Amino acid sequence: MSYKLKLPLITTFIFDIDGVLTDGSVMLYKDEVVRTINAKDGYALQYAAKMGYSIFIISGGDSKAAKTRLLSAGVKEVVLKASNKVSVYEELKRKYNFTDQEVLYMGDDIPDYNVMSKVGVSTCPQDAAIEIKDLADYQSPLKGGNHCVRDIIEQTLRVQGKWFSAEAHEW
d(CA 159, CA 26): 35
The CATH superfamily label for domain 11-169 reads HAD superfamily/HAD-like (3.40.50.1000)
112 among the known binding-site residues?
Answer: no
Cross-strand bridge partners of residue 27 = 34
Distance of alpha carbon 68 from alpha carbon 103, whole angstroms: 23
151 is in an annotated binding site: no
pLDDT at position 99 is 98
| Confidence at residue 168, expressed as pLDDT on a 0 to 100 scale | 56
pLDDT of the residue at 24: 76
Low-confidence ranges of the chain (pLDDT < 50): 171
Does 62 carry a binding-site annotation?
A: no
